[in-house]
Amino acid sequence: MEILFEPLHAFDTNASAWAEGLRWEPLTAVFVFASLWWVKWPLLLALGACGDCSCRKRWPRAAAAGALAVGAAALLITVLKDFFDRARPPLADASIDPVGIVPASASFPSGHAATAVAAAVAIGLVHPRLRRPLLAMAAVVALSRVYLGVHYVFDVVAGTLIGIAIGYAAARTVQAVGQAPTRLALRL
């Protein structure tokens, strides 16, 4: 089994070293900001709630979808981190110099990427006009994790894919629940 993961680990290590070589102070400041706990999803949920304010006749679907997506993503990521228990880049390779504090949790998959992307996808499906800015913010959050040296590329890719799937499911679930009373009223 290790023979399958050896090329992946080599790619991840090389990509981490390459990202470290790209560091530039203004860009580092942007990525440090993007990695703050309140940016990874609370800010996205707040933007979704603002979008909900423009739709006074409906319940806050974007905020509900975003919250459902973030909660589900965080729960699944916690389980997966415990299962895979992959060491963070600077713990696995002393030559990698991280920016800031290295989280104590396992590296795979990226929780920042999963929750940010899940929130962005869920809210973007409910309010399409917010989709591009939210996905751009989520992409910056995800990229920041590799740039700062606290995740491997594969961790972020896995977290992103999980976030897409959960965000889509959460948005569709909230939209179905929001339409349920209308369907019931039509039958009566």
Q: What is the DSSP letter of 1?
A: -
Query: Which is more confidently placed, 117 or 97?
Result: 117
Q: How far apart are the first and last CA of the chain?
A: 59
The catalytic residues are 112, 151
- Highest mean pLDDT pick, 73-77, 89-93, 172-176: 73-77
Q: What percent of the chain has pLDDT over 90?
A: 46
What pLDDT is attached to residue 52? 66
The pair of structure tokens assigned to 44 is 């996205």
More confident site: 114 or 2: 114
Mean pLDDT value across residues 149-163: 95
Packing angle of the helix pair 131-147, 2-21 (nearest 10 deg): 100
Confidence of residue 69 (pLDDT cuts 50, 70, 90): very high
Whether residue 123 contacts residue 47, with contact meaning beta carbons closer than 8 Å, is answered with yes
pLDDT for 147 equals: 92
- What rounded mean pLDDT belongs to the chain? 85
Q: What is the pTM assigned to this prediction? A: 0.86
Q: pLDDT at position 119, please?
A: 94
